[in-house]
Structure 1
């Protein structure tokens, strides 16, 4: 993963009760793990691998929870699921709920309205312990690429653990039953089964991380081997207890060295977890295994000193509190210095201590709850319902996207009506009148991220991992009976025009097919292998007689240059040889409000500055995709349609790029256009295609009313 895409790491959570005193070395390992995570999130120099603290926690948690389950199975001949989850509820839910509720309330007070809906969805997923899959889905969603980190992103690891704990007790019960029926040794059979599962998960982790490190990072299946490694130590305890003390001490020192090396050797560019995660996983397992053989070794005494035990005891609450605290700081003080971030992280220690004393311990050690599993589980359900209800309130009270332009003109407001039927559209004489403040913006700034174009809404843009073009009978737009077939190919910068092209195709009698793929312009070099494979297959498809289009429309965003022209031409060659005409749509540039912080979007700025949007104006910026698109059009002698004058009108005269034109917000994610603004550009695009000789509607018959998308499919 890249450093920018790398998600916050999270801890394993259980401070499981065992018979006898809790091992000091394990408490110290918890302290090491949470300090790694804090150092990484605060941004301390030399902590580039601190996110791997989560891997340390996973091994610890697998060891402690399995110790409980195996002891119960061997001593009682059974495992009580209600008792297991009652213990989990008493331990995990009180602090988790307090932090989720606090985070939701803080988001309600501080976050822009548009991000409150997202936070509510994330808190709901965190409450149900499935938020890791929500984040994994975003890793293949190109539109989420520049989204702000979630305030509850650290809950992903709790979700992984709880999903593991759903399966693991049931598997132990199954193995116990099989061992009884087949008259096999329970622990031996469980060891064989677990070893097989650990090996399978490790192999899948390596394979999936190589293919898709973003989704692999959050996957329970790629993380189960780390929890399983800790669990195997329990089953190997008799053998480990016989290890000689010098060997045990050497293993402990070596394990600590591996964990320390992870902190400085690994960074955000390391594909994770995969084989690289063996470093902290094996290191942690070695320390725990050494403690089984020699509980009072020098490394164990070092880990068990009072300050480390103190931090280890606070590690769960400290982990829960530190990330939302740092996220809140980033929202209100995006330029906060390292010392300020350190102070906030230290303040999380105080919050963790208060939570432990006032919430966690009173619930966990309550005699009333300990005696009554039903009461405990009911209390847990109430806690989850509380955070879930508050999150749901954020979601259901959020503004909803309006699907019509509601009388707003958008780009049409810039056009001199007298020029509509002429070969050259002219800007109105007073463009400033089209970019001034309005009473109501379209869409509502809080819903801009939902204002997507037609093909994306319909699920017709292939995600970043996909390698297969859309099925031949799906994702068709325009006139279903049209004689002219148009293929829209390229990345999301091509797809964003699907709404306008659909409306043009209806009037022209074209059948429009969407073939776009996220982060994948029509090239087969310099991108991911999945992109190259997709484009090669699509290229062949477009050259087949039964699929060959009459017109190919393409565009591209950032990350491409003139050196890729040969690649693009080669992919277009089968369609060209079949008689297709190519239209190249210029890239669109992004906006960054010059009067706001670096991470504030145009629509967030407009949500705050509705009466005076001056801080939300942007300096003109180049459209990076044109480095490829302009030479491509020249090489093919193809039509090059550049609508930038209608996206950032007259920046020299007006003093920059307006955040809204004709009452319609121009940009959404990054440099993409809002679906509403694209629809307002439909007649301008249609006019350009007619002038270029691609479309045949007479200029005086082009429809200048706002385009309307069909209903969501």
Structure 2
């Protein structure tokens, strides 16, 4: 596809000639990749090293736009096949090689439960959309404690490739307008790009304030940085007339701005937002100062041989360093700085080999440069190879399935803890030997490799509002229990309340409850100390529950980690509109975070089980209080409300057993973080029902409570 062949009106094609090699840009590339490398290795004083990616964005915007505008001015058109063939020869050989090696390394070295995620990530990286996958995970509460992806660094390549898809098309559209209305190319392009840059920058500031994790990876919040580099091309005629003194000051200020970013910014700085303007404009200043053929002393310093060498290796070094460092962190989490530096040097060696054995031979191959077709086919083949391996990894990964009857025969979870003779009494009692039901069985339910996928009923139904959402869940889809029941129950709070949805559904069926879920990720029912979206949502929900047509008979809530007891008054205030309408409040105690003591810090309980199937002893956790329960206890006192405490059935007899068991009755207790698996929650249903009856919340007599394991309703019930 090309634009029109006639030169646009008002454009004088420049004399053909070779493009001047910018040594200062190679030096900037070196600085950018060294910043990123220092940050990921953990060198002291490199807290802002992640901004090296911002430097790369400006450079890429400048270089790509230089090629496109030069072609547009020379030929009056842009050949998309030639453009994408150049991109394929330049980017795909090394990118595909690293993806293939990373996929194989992940298959060999990562826990089985991580294989499906890695395969999905490699597929997204192959298609240059992994940044959107990562942005989605930033607002997906289930992904809060996932380890960084081995291909997470491909997010910036995805942003650039998406820019490379849209920007040539936009230039072609401008060329069409120029031709049709006899306009001048560069002024119209400049106006168009300025609008794009200002819109993207404004959106970046807004989204970074609202959801910084999501904004960090999104293309829409990054386009302005590539656009700033592109604007330099369109303003070249003016910038290259700068006197040498001005060029020197501009370049020096630019380098100083980049260094200032490195040493003053850290991971706590909201990014990219307004703060990213410093490295972006600083990089633009250095490039602008070098537009004049005479350059500047600073530019010549950037172009010294060592920096040019590192700049030439920067692409490969960026690709190789991250998976190597991440695999080191996975396998040797206690590795010191010297070891990490050694791995970084290995990345340098691999980059050099990749450049000379893969990148340059294919980039300049006569067979691939004769026409666009061979290069595009070769690029497609490279992408197909990495995609096929990733697909095979996903296909071979363990998956969460409904176990057959034989597999679940010994998997009764918390039911195994309850002494049978106490079921009809007011107080449940533990079996005499709880240690006998806390060991492993031949097949655990769910499979520990995929226990993090054993999520709750309400979450699977899409009823937990995301961290950035502010709308109430759909009333029809998010009402469980008995749809014709006489008791209206509102379930509010964060995921530590929502995790009980399977049990509450089963109890609701027995008790005649209509159980409506209003839970929101990372958003306990408090009005302080959380995100703006959480505040807005809770205020709206509080008002909703106080309205005559929506007032519930019963409100159930809980909170997880990070809520100090000082917020008790805030929760009481939000509950008041419902309590003023006569609603009764019941609080469900938090569940503790398991920290296996026989494995490296950061290894989850279910990952430990997957790694120690023969002997689960290393996966036991010290008994520790659940941090959210202090707040709930305070609220219970202020409202004279019952507090349901199920800790004895989640971590049974910790003094006698020397800690908390990761498996009870053949069921894996925990999934992500301190959340319980849905299977274990279902096994706790009779226990929770019995406790609610003891506290006078439910009306079913203890002798009539069902001790059968409940099943969740089918999707689309």
Question: TM-score under structure 2 normalisation?
Answer: 0.96
Determine whether 1:708 maps to 2:711. Answer: yes
Q: Is the 8 A contact 2:461 2:477 kept in 1?
A: no
Deviations 1:377-412 (A, max 9, x none): 111111111111111111121112124582311000
Paired with 1:419 and 1:529, the residues of 2 have a C-alpha distance of 47
Paired with 1:631 and 1:300, the residues of 2 have a C-alpha distance of 63
Deviation at 1:707, TM superposition (A): 1.5
Unaligned runs of 5+ in 2: 1-16
Determine whether 1:454 maps to 2:453. Answer: no
Aligned partner of residue 627 in structure 2, secondary structure: coil
Q: Is the 8 A contact 1:206 1:273 kept in 2?
A: yes
Paired with 1:256 and 1:143, the residues of 2 have a C-alpha distance of 41
Report what 1:213 is aligned to. Answer: 212
Q: Is the 8 A contact 2:465 2:520 kept in 1?
A: yes
Report what 2:228 is aligned to. Answer: 229
Report what 2:257 is aligned to. Answer: 258
Q: Is the 8 A contact 2:27 2:311 kept in 1?
A: yes
Report what 2:320 is aligned to. Answer: 321
Aligned partner of residue 195 in structure 1, secondary structure: helix
Aligned length: 696
Report what 2:473 is aligned to. Answer: 470
Report what 2:157 is aligned to. Answer: 158
Report what 1:599 is aligned to. Answer: 602
- How do 1:336-415 and structure 2 match up within 5 A? 336-403=335-402, 406-407=408-409, 408-415=411-418
Deviation at 1:474, TM superposition (A): 3.1
- How do 1:24-423 and structure 2 match up within 5 A? 24-403=23-402, 406-407=408-409, 408-423=411-426
Determine whether 1:495 maps to 2:494. Answer: no
Ranges of 4+ aligned residues in structure 1 off by more than 6 Å: none
- How do 1:574-589 and structure 2 match up within 5 A? 574-589=577-592
Paired with 1:590 and 1:704, the residues of 2 have a C-alpha distance of 27
Paired with 2:392 and 2:137, the residues of 1 have a C-alpha distance of 23
Q: Is the 8 A contact 1:252 1:290 kept in 2?
A: yes
Aligned partner of residue 561 in structure 2, secondary structure: coil
Aligned partner of residue 467 in structure 2, secondary structure: coil
Deviations 1:35-74 (A, max 9, x none): 0000000000000000000000000000000010001111
Aligned partner of residue 489 in structure 1, secondary structure: strand
Determine whether 1:571 maps to 2:574. Answer: yes
Paired with 2:277 and 2:674, the residues of 1 have a C-alpha distance of 39
Q: Is the 8 A contact 1:49 1:268 kept in 2?
A: yes
Deviations 1:481-500 (A, max 9, x none): 11111111000100000111
Q: Is the 8 A contact 2:82 2:371 kept in 1?
A: no
Aligned partner of residue 169 in structure 2, secondary structure: helix
Paired with 1:699 and 1:389, the residues of 2 have a C-alpha distance of 56
Q: Is the 8 A contact 1:249 1:294 kept in 2?
A: no
Report what 1:13 is aligned to. Answer: none
Paired with 1:494 and 1:669, the residues of 2 have a C-alpha distance of 14
Paired with 2:206 and 2:549, the residues of 1 have a C-alpha distance of 37
Q: Is the 8 A contact 1:421 1:700 kept in 2?
A: yes
Report what 1:680 is aligned to. Answer: 683
Deviations 1:193-248 (A, max 9, x none): 11111111111111111111111111111110110111011111111111101110
Determine whether 1:638 maps to 2:644. Answer: no
Q: Is the 8 A contact 2:247 2:295 kept in 1?
A: no
Paired with 1:425 and 1:580, the residues of 2 have a C-alpha distance of 28
- Report which stretch shifted further, 287-296 or 125-134: 287-296
Paired with 2:524 and 2:19, the residues of 1 have a C-alpha distance of 61
Report what 1:3 is aligned to. Answer: none
- Report which stretch shifted further, 137-146 or 222-231: 137-146
Deviation at 1:437, TM superposition (A): 2.1
Paired with 1:314 and 1:295, the residues of 2 have a C-alpha distance of 26
Q: Is the 8 A contact 2:470 2:537 kept in 1?
A: yes
Report what 1:23 is aligned to. Answer: 22
Paired with 1:422 and 1:678, the residues of 2 have a C-alpha distance of 22
Report what 1:557 is aligned to. Answer: 560
Question: TM-score under structure 1 normalisation?
Answer: 0.96
Deviation at 1:294, TM superposition (A): 4.7
Report what 1:590 is aligned to. Answer: 593
Q: Is the 8 A contact 1:455 1:475 kept in 2?
A: yes
Report what 2:3 is aligned to. Answer: none
- Report which stretch shifted further, 365-374 or 25-34: 365-374
Q: Is the 8 A contact 1:245 1:294 kept in 2?
A: no
Q: Is the 8 A contact 2:463 2:474 kept in 1?
A: no
Aligned partner of residue 292 in structure 1, secondary structure: coil
Report what 1:663 is aligned to. Answer: 666
Paired with 2:491 and 2:565, the residues of 1 have a C-alpha distance of 21
Deviations 1:151-208 (A, max 9, x none): 1000000000011111100000000010011100111111111111111111111111
Q: Is the 8 A contact 2:586 2:644 kept in 1?
A: yes
- Report which stretch shifted further, 187-196 or 39-48: 187-196
Paired with 1:222 and 1:618, the residues of 2 have a C-alpha distance of 42
Aligned partner of residue 153 in structure 1, secondary structure: coil
Aligned partner of residue 515 in structure 2, secondary structure: strand
Deviations 1:627-684 (A, max 9, x none): 1101111111111110000000001111111010000011111111111111110000
Deviation at 1:326, TM superposition (A): 0.2
Aligned partner of residue 231 in structure 2, secondary structure: helix
Deviation at 1:21, TM superposition (A): 4.2
Deviations 1:538-577 (A, max 9, x none): 0111111211111111000111122111111111111111
Paired with 1:711 and 1:270, the residues of 2 have a C-alpha distance of 45
Aligned partner of residue 88 in structure 1, secondary structure: helix
Paired with 2:551 and 2:41, the residues of 1 have a C-alpha distance of 54
